[in-house]
Each structure stands twice: as C-alpha cells, then as structure tokens.
C-alpha cells in the first residue's frame, strides 16, 4: 500500500505551521518577552530562528523525506546497525511526555471557551479571577473531563490519516487562526494607552540582555518550532519529493515567528493599557486577560475568540505530537492506524489525568522535586528536546554522507542549492555549539 502523504506545498505548510504555532506562541512567548526586556528579546529570538533553528528544521525534513519512515526507522535506515535509532526513540518518548501536559492546558482552553460563552468573566476583580483559575486547575474532575475531550478530538483527526485528517483540518483551522489573531490585535492596539505596549515590543532595551535571556530565547525557539523530537522528521516523511524543503522550512519558521509577534501585539498593548505589569509570567493568558476582557466593550466576544484561538493553536500542535507516536507504532507493530491511535490516546489520557490531578489532590506527589505536570514539562522541553536537537545536527552534519544531504536538499540535483554551503556550515559548527550551550545552562540552573 502506498504511504499516505501531504498533497502539495500549501498542504504541508498548514500542517507544519499548525504544529509550530501553539501554546508556545500564545502563552509562553508573550510572557517571556515580558520578563526578558521586550524588543531586545525578540531580536535575539529572530536571530536564533534564522541561524540555528531554520537549519535544524531543514535537517529534520531531510531525514524524514529521505527515508519516508517514522522517526525511529528513519534513523535506523540512514545508520543501520548503530545506536542512532535511540534518537528516534527519545523523540517518541518526548512526544508522549509533551502530550501528557500539553493536553491538560488544551483542556483548560476548552473550559475557558465554555465559560466565556456563558459570560463568567464579567468581573474585573483580580482575586476573583485568580481563584476561578485555581478552582479549575485543582478540581479533580472538571479539567480531566476537558482534557479527555481534547485528546478525543485530536485522536479523531489523527485517525483519519495525513491528507484526509491532519492536512484537511489544518487547512480549515490555520487560516481562520491567523484571521482571528489579526482582529484581536487590531482591538488591542486601538485601546487607549496601547502605545506603551507597542513601544515595549519594538524598542529594544539592550541593557536587559545577558546569557540567561539569550538562552531562554533559544529554548523558546526550539519549543515553538517543534524541533528536536522528530515531529518535523515525521511530517517530513509525508512531504512529496518535488517540494523545496528550504522554502518550506523558511516559510514555516517565518509564519510561526509572525504569529508569535501578532500574539504579542494582541496581548501586550492590552496589558499596558490596563496598567498591568508585563512580567506576570505563566498566568498571563488565564488570569490577566480575563480581567481585561471583563472591562472592554464586547469583551465576552473577544474572550471567546481568544480562547478559541488558543484551542485551535493547541490542537493542531497536539495532533502533530500524536502523529509522531502513531507513525512509529503503526509501522513498527504493523498495526492499523485507528487501533494504534486509540491505544496511544488512552495511555496519554491516563498520564494527562495524573498531571492534571497533580495540580490539586496529588499535589504532594513529587518526582525529582517536581509535580507530575512540571516533571513532564521539564523533562521534555528542557532535557529531551535539546538532547534530541543536538543529536539531529550531529547526525546530519557529521554522520550522514554530505552527498546524501546535498541530494535531498536539492531534490536530486534539480534545484540550484545556492544556500547549501551556508546551511551545511551552520549545521556542522554553529548549531551544535549553540545547543550544547543551552543544554548545559538548563541542566546547571
Ligand atoms: N510548537 C508547539 C507550540 O509552540 C509545541 C510543540 C513542541 C509541538 C514540540 C510539537 C512538538 O506550542
């Protein structure tokens, strides 16, 4: 049977951008910008995306498309009888760990959509909103209900396959997502006093920059672009042979960055307009924004829009994570896609339930000093992704034959490959050193 694939450039693009644009852009990016000096952080982030992450994304596409296999088999095919396959396994484990907390946050977004529809955010009172959020995440039942529903929806999409599932739904959801975030941005930048927020995002304060900030930017770039765990390898394996991988990676990285900036412009001016500190941290979208929605005209409509955006961004990323595990299980165990997805989703639901409960009744359970939720988050984002990223650049830069890499980069010599030398230099020298630096920093901190 012919392996499923995406239908063409736009089809792949909506899927890769769908994977990249997620909670990382809407929730993590704005608060990191807020905590790390605004525009200066954004500039460093941009530089890292271009110099380090773009080459890594191209490399992941190369591994995937060359082998047309799941991430574990891809490494095994390119490096038979070596331990390189372990990099693929680590990627599958990372995908599973991310799913175990990401789907919980996905569940919260659904609860927030529901609540904005029934007009619960009608009070600007900070402590009331804060306790509403606390009540949700610590409840033993409500967040698990939403999380399981979120997993179920992701599973239904992945069960339908690549073209008829992932691509089809991304085609509908992604343009809608960009459209809505633009509307929200317009609302935000036209609030009285919004200039201060805009200025914060465009006027760099270089005195805020230090290595910690730089490393935070690199870690964020990794997470946001879905790199280092085989997601882009898996999607890469479904890219038709005629597509230009460099162009695809560039467009994906730019769309993700554009979206992050749009999200910043949708959030920061509103935050400044209401005189709230931009350094609120992780509670920004669930605690600070409801206060703002309660105070602007038609706030409930904007609230529904915002949490719908958050939900769509989260689910298109969640399906890419689920696909990494699904591709592996179906191909390894020769299992039917639907059966594999059902089993994996059930397992994810169990782990996610534990991470949800760890916010409340299981608060006292600690793994290496962290709650279950934080453990999954820390293990995947801070350890498995950088480790995976490092292995991938070493693999493509130093292990695979240069001619193989060139061949795939230029579609068997049919493309000019002008940028190949620059790409190869970045992947061989710049990226490994930079990632090793982040990794060391994250471990010692
Ligand atoms: N890129 C996604 C986001 O920004 C998260 C993600 C990471 C998805 C790794 C897949 C793989 O939310």
Ligand 1 probe mutation, 15, 90, 104, 223, most atoms within 8 A of CB: 223
Which residue stretches of the chain have pLDDT < 70?
A: 1, 121-122, 124, 280-282, 438, 442-443, 445
CA 227 to ligand 1: nearest atom: 9
Closest CA to 29 of 281, 316, 380: 281
Q: What is the pLDDT of residue 2?
A: 76
pLDDT at 370: 83
Q: How many domains would you assign to the chain? A: 1
Closest CA to 246 of 383, 103, 422, 111: 422
Give a yes or no: residue 1 inside a domain: no
Residues 6+ apart with CB under 8 A from 172: none
The rounded distance, in Å, linking the Cα atoms of 69 and 76 is 10
pLDDT attached to residue 282: 66
| Number of Cβ atoms within 10 Å of the Cβ of 96 | 20
User: Could you tell me if residue 304 is inside a domain?
Assistant: yes
Is the residue at 281 inside a domain? Answer: yes
Q: 168 Cβ partners below 8 Å, 6+ apart?
A: 160
Evaluate whether 167 touches 15 at the Cβ level (below 8 Å).
yes
CA dist., res. 54 & res. 222, Å (int): 10
pTM of the predicted protein model: 0.93
In a domain, 296, yes or no: yes
CATH code of the domain covering residue 256: 1.20.1740
Give the position of tokens 């460099």: 246
Q: For position 1, what pLDDT does the model report?
A: 62
For ligand 1, the distance from its centroid to the CA atom of residue 81, given in whole angstroms, is 31
Q: Whose CA is nearest to atom 6 of ligand 1?
A: 226
Angle of helix 245-273 versus helix 39-48 axis, rounded to 10 = 170
Burial of 334: CB neighbours in 10 Å, binned 0-12, 13-18, 19+: exposed
CA of 223 to the centre of ligand 1 (A): 5
Ligand 1, residue 20: give the atom nearest the CA: 1
Which residue has the CA at smallest separation from atom 11 of ligand 1? 226
148-191: per-residue pLDDT in tens?
999 999 999 999 999 999 999 999 999 999 999 999 999 899 99
Q: Whole-angstrom Cα distance, residue 258 to residue 178?
A: 10
Q: Report the pLDDT value the prediction gives residue 442, as an integer from 0 to 100.
A: 63
pLDDT given at position 9: 95
Ligand 1 centre from 195 Cα, in Å? 31
Pocket of ligand 1 (CB under 6 A): 19-20, 22-25, 98, 223-224, 226, 229, 231, 317, 320-321
State the burial class of residue 416 (Cβ atoms within 10 Å of its Cβ: 0-12, 13-18, 19+).
Answer: exposed
Q: Is residue 2 in a domain?
A: no
Summarize pLDDT for 428-443 with one digit per residue, the tens: 999 999 888 867 776 6
In ligand 1, which atom is closest to the CA atom of 25?
A: 4
* Secondary structure (DSSP) of 167-227: IHHHHHHHHHHHHHHHHHHHHHHTSTTTHHHHHHHHS--GGG--HHHHHHHHHHHHHHTT-
317 close to 166: Cβ distance less than 8 angstroms: no
SS3 367: strand
* Domain around 294: 9-444
């Amino acid at each position: 049977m012919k392996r499923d694939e995406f239908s063409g450039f736009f089809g792949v693009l909506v899927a890769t951008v769908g994977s990249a644009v997620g909670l990382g852009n809407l929730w993590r990016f704005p608060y990191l910008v807020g905590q790390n000096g605004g525009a200066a952080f954004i500039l460093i982030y941009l530089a890292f995306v271009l110099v380090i992450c773009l080459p890594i994304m191209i490399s992941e596409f190369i591994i995937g498309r060359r082998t047309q296999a799941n991430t574990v088999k891809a490494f095994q095919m390119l490096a038979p009888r070596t331990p390189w396959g372990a990099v693929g396994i680590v990627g599958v484990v990372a995908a599973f760990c991310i799913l175990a907390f990401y789907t919980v946050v996905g569940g919260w977004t659904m609860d927030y959509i529901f609540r904005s529809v029934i007009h619960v955010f009608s009070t600007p009172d900070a402590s009331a909103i804060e306790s509403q959020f606390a009540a949700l995440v610590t409840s033993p039942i409500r967040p698990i209900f939403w999380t399981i529903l979120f997993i179920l929806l992701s599973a239904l999409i992945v069960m339908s396959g690549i073209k008829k599932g992932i691509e089809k739904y991304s085609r509908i959801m992604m343009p809608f997502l960009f459209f809505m975030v633009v509307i929200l941005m317009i609302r935000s930048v036209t609030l009285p006093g919004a200039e201060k927020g805009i200025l914060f995002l465009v006027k760099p304060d270089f005195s805020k920059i230090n290595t910690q900030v730089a490393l935070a930017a690199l870690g964020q770039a990794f997470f946001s672009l879905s790199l280092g765990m085989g997601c882009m390898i898996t999607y890469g394996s479904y890219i038709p042979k005629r597509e230009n991988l460099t162009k695809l990676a560039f467009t994906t990285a730019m769309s993700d960055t554009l979206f992050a900036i749009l999200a910043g412009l949708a959030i920061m001016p509103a935050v400044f307009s209401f005189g709230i500190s931009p350094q609120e941290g992780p509670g920004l979208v669930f605690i600070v924004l409801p206060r703002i929605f309660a105070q602007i005209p038609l706030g409930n409509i904007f609230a529904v829009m915002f949490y719908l955006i958050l939900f769509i961004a989260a689910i298109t990323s969640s399906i890419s994570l689920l696909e990494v595990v699904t591709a592996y299980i179906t191909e390894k165990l020769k299992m039917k896609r639907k059966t594999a997805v059902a089993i994996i989703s059930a397992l994810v639901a169990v782990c996610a339930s534990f991470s949800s409960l760890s916010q409340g009744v299981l608060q006292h359970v600690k793994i290496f000093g962290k709650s279950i939720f934080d453990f999954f988050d820390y293990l995947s984002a801070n350890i498995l992704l950088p480790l995976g990223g490092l292995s991938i650049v070493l693999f493509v830069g130093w292990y695979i034959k240069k001619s193989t890499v060139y061949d795939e980069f230029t579609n068997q010599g049919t493309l000019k490959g002008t940028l190949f030398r620059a790409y190869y230099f970045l992947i061989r020298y710049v990226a490994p050193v930079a990632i090793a630096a982040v990794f060391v920093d994250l471990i010692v901190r």
